[in-house]
Structure 1
């Protein structure tokens, strides 16, 4: 629709009110390679958009793919204001400067306010034209003495009060209709003749209070309109020149008069739309009724208003306008009578269920609990009570109360005759898995996709609460996690696929990849879950399924960096769909996987800061803290003021947080902070302190099943163990070698399945092992292989560490020239990573090495012959497949 000969400019105003469907269309148009010669311009009110707003998230995502140019419309400064005044009054800028200062102080530089203020002082004859001198004059002293309000609304009120009463009245009625209104509707609501309405609009138009959007208005006076030309009159629209004018017009109406006008508008709109699709205008109709609820006495009309508010709330929720949705549901509930739970049970239940959910979505857990208590008390059966229990589990999980959350899920599942052991043993898990395998038999993905749909409402409810239990089980009782997914798949096979069956399949995939090591099979179940998502287009499940597949499954076979974009997409979808819990999980995962795949520390800080406001807004405390400890980790390496080998500083303190995590059974949080603290200590050469963290973290490893931090833990544990080998006694040395050998078996398996993620880790540990057993030739080769893999796959931290350890190896062998090359490379890559404090530590430790500043190109030149000789000589004799490794 746009081409070289016919370019298209599309302007979209008030994007702060955009719905999710429109956002998707904007993204499609903007990012499409086929939409050339299209110029998209959008505007929004910055003060109504925070970092958690879907528009802001979408813009940032689009900007990362295709740059967006932002133009901030800031207030005019004194120079601009003075230029406007001097140009208008045809005088020198020096002469008008004192007036410009007053205008700036009164208006704050807002262009609309400037115009109104200048008009006001002109109307008060404080600016006037001197006919004798033939120039404009003004009295600065008198203007300062006059009590002109700083409030633009008050100024506008004074201007509106100068209108003739009929004109003022028509403007006030218009302000009740809205910022934009058409002539026909104003004619109907006003109760005046068409001629009177048109004549009364002239004065506000002439005073620039409103303006006609369409040119047809100019010809109205030449027509003899009777008011029955509905189609013509509906097309003639007017708009307030500024929303403050509408606000001012509205504010001077008496409350009772205002309510009666709204009631007339609401009834007219309802009557005009009830025979057609009311959905399009439902928000407007409900809004007008809600301004006059105390005037509605007829019981039938009250029920209509309740239903209208229910529909309006649902529509607002669908557009992610959760506060507005809450307001509509609250208005509906206020119209319920004392006996409505008995007389209108279904309507009451759905209203209370929706407002309870809206309370959760705006993170008002106190109100949520109030409404949940009513639902629990008034509901007739477990199906109707389910919403209350669901929301409580979500709220408890958000606030670290994982045990409480699980107990609610167990209570509901118990009513549905589903039971689990309190602390499942390995034997119970193994037994359940064998039974599931027997039930699955030879079924493949196609068989699962083509299962019939689950129709039993109680089985569907069981599936729902099994899925609700998964997050709390993951954090506090990991041994329960596989049993939950096994049960979901069993129910799906026996009773058909439910909406949530895909969650069961993907969690089984996570179990297979992260616990049993059946990576190919686990990956296949993950793909199955995405295929079901595609087949049934369950958008409300997209965030959950992306969270599982791209955080727990995909990286075991494919590059970790390829998981980042889908996780960021999951955040946006979760926010849009009101899936606060999984949007929060995806946020943490997006940020910590960005760290693990080698993004710069500055990027980690920026990403954490970007999403902290979102998690604050939706009160997901257990993930909120993740962004703080990631930010602290990055700052400890990059910021001199925060440079500590302990995970503590301005934003996070492990000494305070760790006991709290353990008390709350937040196992994954405990594991993460201990491992990040361990990595810091290792990088700062506090190896004995780092060694202590290895055993501290291990008891919590089941709480991070399937996450990319597990290979990180394996990798750094081995490097730390090998780093203390020389200072250890004979018994401890043997223990170190055995532990590293066990780690390497696991790491080799992971590297075989996902070489881009883990091969550099495997070879670097191999190099350090060969170093301690004095096999320098093999060590040299493995250092270079590790560096090559890390560099090729953009693992900055891996490349830097590998270069540092290689440099230290050569330094220990008194090969200072080669050592300088690797240590200089290490400094360069650490600098790219943003680890400024680590760079400083290296420079202080090796001053003689860093006297000569080398750039990357010169380093590559120096090392080219050296590394090429090694690879030429050894690529066939020692490689990953053929190396015995750790020959102890």
Structure 2
């Protein structure tokens, strides 16, 4: 269903065909054909079948099977024809419920077959022969033969599968309710014990889903802690697949299995579970819970790995709710605790320039392109520091341009000294953002940005792939044609949406739509792209952080406002833009277009228009990015962060 919805949002045509029950006349023809008799002779039986099953094909077929098994519908060899007795069939009082009918059918099977079907039902709708041997602790082919013969299950490619969900449901109902937890626990234990360690993670969902259903019966502390570990593995695998609700379920079960003193005895296990819970809560929209959990975890973090890990996630969280000040504060505090870096939240211009100059000293005789051959960074403290620096740099961009410069330059310097890591890729891109606008070195910015993009293609350096692509796609128009960055922005949006990187899916969404605008593409195409991305982004980020652009000439609502920039207006425009973008109100859409000659009076009027509430209910903060290149000022991003 989610795939179909995504296809619809992309504008593709999707046609649905509803397959309802067969009509009475259709059943009359079907029964007559099956029994090889005239329609008039089969009509009473067909009518009875239709009455019992309401025309449901599966139910009707199973009903006919039941009639045959009970000898109420039989083939007469003497007359070479099928015979039935409507009075006997009516007197039998067959159920109107398909599951009850299937239970009755299953109950007539041999005991060994029933037991095998119960085991299969515990595992799921299907299972391979090896799994069933483990579950039932003996060979199952003979036991399942009768179920295969009467077509309750099918055998294909080494696996057995129920022919219908109702058969599965009926087979499971044969297990007394009071015995089900014990049955699942036994199956889970056997699967865990006999599964080779190297295959355990691959089969983790099969194991955990069984053990969790019998977890209430586990009394051993060691076994409970082992099951908590299994749930952590399952949760992380589900998280990797962006199945965050499922991941949270596993992680919460794992946490509930641990007792109070586990923080002392099993610190690593509890910390990992709680951190993963916070990550899933964050990306699935439960920001308050994630913030509380991370605040508590920051007090529990004891190592130089745990402390920056928690701090990095807190920075990302505060960025997603437009609290750049909090994000900077958390990041700077972690830098002070972990590596002893003492920075003011507002460094001086001289400090920023000193950090920038230090990069070229460290680069020495090497060219930027030669940095691709640098070794991988291995020092744990350097890796943790670099992670913190690239996290702090992003909110610093909105708080202090000098802090942004200091953090970015220190991150690049660390990579020059200790080698490349996955965080080096985004560090190089952030430097590309810095080198041109802040220090006038657009060529070096482009070259080092290209370096980051080349590095992030390596399998071992792809953690910040979405961020790297988005930032370089943002930077490219300063030295290349604006369309040259579009593919990178699109790739960034796809990766960020898939991996739950809320902030950068928002950035990429805004950048793509702005790219259409700056490139001069038809506004109809720009609108279509904006609406597609908005729909996908809103779904992917759970409305935490959604970038939104609407364009002039496309929407003619009274609440649309224009922001227009020109090359010589940057200095005069900046105060008005900052004032205009402090808050937005329900019903206000920002319309951005590249045009000419926005004067101070127009900018002031724009600012006043944003301050007038439409409904009086503030919904968030608007941030507009303006970028200076050698010959023009361009609007390069628009973000709306809902509150």
Per the shorter chain, which TM-score range?
0.7 to 0.9
The answer to whether 1:504 aligns with 2:427 is yes
Task: Determine whether 1:746 maps to 2:620.
Answer: no
Indicate the residue corresponding to 2:455 in structure 1. Answer: 532
1:543 shift after superposition: 0.7
Match of 2:388 in 1: 465
1:408 and 2:330 matched: yes
Could you say if the C-alpha distance between residues 463 and 51 of structure 1 is closer, same or farther in structure 2, counting changes exceeding 3 Å?
farther
CA-atom RMSD in angstroms? 4.9
1:460-512 deviation digits (Å, cap 9, x = unpaired): 22221221123323345445322221121222234443331222221111123
The whole-number CA distance in structure 2 between the counterparts of 1:104 and 1:690 is 75
Please give the alpha-carbon distance, in whole angstroms, between the structure 2 residues aligned to 1:663 and 1:295.
Answer: 62
Aligned partner of residue 239 in structure 1, secondary structure: strand
Query: CA 1:424–1:611 in 2, change beyond 3 Å: closer, same or farther?
Result: same
| Pairing 1:326-345 to 2, within 5 Å after superposition | 326-345=248-267
Separation in 2 of the partners of 1:428 and 1:515? Answer: 13
Q: Which residue number corresponds to residue 181 of structure 1?
A: 127
Q: Please report how far the alpha carbon of residue 176 of structure 1 lies from its aligned counterpart in structure 2 after TM superposition.
A: 0.8
> Secondary structure of the equivalent of 1:676?
strand
CA contact (8 A) 1:432 1:486 kept: yes
Q: 1:251 to 1:314 in 2, by over 3 A?
A: same
| CA displacement, residues 61-88 of structure 1 (integer Å, 9 cap, x when unaligned) | xxx9xxx9x9866332578896576345
Cα distance change, pair 174–365 in 1 and its aligned pair in 2 (3 A): same
> For the residues of structure 2 that align with 1:489 and 1:440, how far apart are their CA atoms?
10
Matched, 1:643 2:541: no
**Counterpart check, 1:545 vs 2:468:** yes
What is the match of residue 359 of structure 1? 281
Aligned residue for 1:540, secondary structure, equals coil
- CA shift at 1:172, angstroms? 1.7
SS at the partner of 2:591? helix
Q: Distance in 2 between matches of 1:117 and 1:473?
A: 68
Q: Counterparts in 2 of 1:619-630, with a 5 A limit?
A: 619=541, 621=543, 623-624=545-546, 626-627=547-548, 630=549
**8 Å contact from structure 1 (residues 678, 691) kept in 2:** no
Specify which of 270, 275, 278 is matched with residue 348 of structure 1: 270
Q: Do structure 1's residue 171 and structure 2's residue 171 form an aligned pair? A: no
Q: Give how far 1:434 is off.
A: 3.9
Structure 2 residue matching 1:148: 3-state secondary structure = coil
In structure 1, the partner of 2:96 is 148
Q: What is the CA–CA distance in structure 2 between the aligned matches of 1:281 and 1:571, rounded to whole Å?
A: 31
The separation in 1 between residues aligned to 2:24 and 2:256, in whole angstroms, is 49
Give me the whole-angstrom Cα distance separating, in 2, the residues matched to 1:497 and 1:318: 24
Flag structure 2 segments of 5+ consecutive residues without an equivalent. Answer: 562-576, 611-620, 637-643
Alignment match, 1:676: 591
Does 2:151 correspond to 1:208?
Answer: yes
Question: Which secondary structure state, in structure 1, belongs to the residue aligned with residue 345 of structure 2?
Answer: coil
- Which secondary structure does the structure 2 equivalent of 1:74 belong to? coil
Superposition pairs of residues 78-93 of structure 1, within 5 angstroms: 83=26, 86-90=29-33
Retained in 2: the 8 A contact 1:476–1:665? no
The aligned residue for residue 422 of structure 1 is 345
Q: Any idea what SS the aligned residue of 1:534 has?
A: coil
Shift of 1:444: 1.6
> Following the alignment from structure 1 to structure 2, what is the Cα–Cα distance between the partners of residues 261 and 442?
69
Q: Secondary structure at the match of 1:500?
A: helix
Q: Flag the 1:488–1:701 CA change in 2: closer, same or farther, 3 A.
A: farther
Q: Distance in 1 between matches of 2:418 and 2:609?
A: 41
Task: Please give the secondary structure, in 2, of the residue aligned with 1:181.
Answer: strand
| CA distance in 2 between partners of 1:372 and 1:354 (Å) | 10
Q: Which residue does the alignment assign to 1:704?
A: 625
Does structure 2 retain, via aligned residues, the 8 Å contact 1:129–1:136?
yes
Question: Structure 1 length as normaliser, TM-score?
Answer: 0.57
The 1:248/1:344 distance shift into structure 2, 3 A limit, reads: same
- Compared with structure 1, are the counterparts of its residues 104 and 578 closer, same or farther at alpha carbon in structure 2 (3 Å cutoff)? farther
- Per the alignment, residue 594 of structure 1 pairs with 516
Which residue is 2:494 aligned to? 572
Q: 1:281 to 1:597 in 2, by over 3 A?
A: same
The one-character-per-residue Cα deviations of 1:555-604 (angstroms, maximum 9, x if unpaired) are 22333233222222222322444433323322332233234334444444
Higher helix share: 1
Partner Cα separation in structure 1 for residue 598 and residue 411 of structure 2:
46
1:645–1:677 Cα contact (<8 Å) kept: no
Deviation of the 1:413 alpha carbon: 1.9
| Corresponding position of 1:387 | 309
Q: Deviations over 1:425-472 (max 9, x none)?
A: 555544543454444454421443344444443332222122112332
- Cα gap change, 1:188 to 1:146, in 2 (>3 Å): closer
1:338, distance to aligned residue in structure 2 (A): 2.3
**CA spacing shift, 1:157–1:168, aligned 2, 3 Å:** same
> Cα distance 1:570–1:689, how it changes in 2: closer, same or farther (>3 A)?
same
Partner of 1:13: none
Change (3 A) 1:180 1:412: same
Alignment CA distance shift 1:456-1:130 (3 Å):
closer
Tell me what 1:318 maps to.
Answer: 240
Q: Choose from 60, 74, 78 the match for 2:17.
A: 74
Superposition map of 1:728-743 within 5 A: none
Give the whole-Å Cα distance in 1 for the aligned partners of 2:417 and 2:599: 54
Matches within 5 A, 1:439-838: 439-535=362-458, 537-550=460-473, 552-619=474-541, 621=543, 623-624=545-546, 626-627=547-548, 630=549, 633-634=550-551, 637-638=553-554, 643-644=556-557, 646-647=559-560, 676=591, 692=604, 704-706=625-627, 746-747=631-632
CA apart distance, 1:336: 1.9
Find the aligned partners of 1:135 and 1:157 in 2 and give their Cα distance: 25
Q: Report which of the two has the higher share of strand.
A: 2
**1:516 Cα deviation after fit:** 4.2
Q: How many residue pairs get matched?
A: 595
Contact residue 209 and residue 240 of structure 1 kept, 8 A: yes
User: What's the CA shift string for 1:215-265, capped at 9, x where partnerless?
Assistant: xxxxxxxxxxxxxxxxxxxx4x31111234323432453344222222222
2:328 touches 2:345 (CA, 8 Å); kept in 1?
no
- 2:324, 2:208 → 1: CA distance? 39
- Paired with 2:222 and 2:623, the residues of 1 have a C-alpha distance of 58
Secondary structure (helix, strand or coil) at the match of 2:340 reads coil
Cα distance in 1 for residues equivalent to 2:356 and 2:208: 53
Q: Distance in 2 between matches of 1:187 and 1:297?
A: 27
Deviation per residue, 1:364-422 (Å, 9 max, x gap): 33443454344233332453233333222222221222222222112212323324443
Separation in structure 2 between the aligned mates of residue 89 and residue 210 of structure 1, nearest angstrom: 26
One of 278, 301, 304 as aligned partner of 2:223: 301
Query: Relative to structure 1, is the Cα distance of residues 86 and 524 closer, same or farther in structure 2, using a 3 angstrom cutoff?
Result: same
Displacement after TM superposition at 1:533 (Å): 1.9
User: Following TM superposition, by how much is the alpha carbon of 1:705 offset from its aligned partner in structure 2, in angstroms?
Assistant: 4.7
Distance 2:20 2:514 in 1: 43
CA distance in 1 between partners of 2:206 and 2:223 (Å) = 17
Q: Classify 1:186/1:431 alpha carbon distance in 2 versus 1 (closer, same or farther; 3 Å).
A: closer
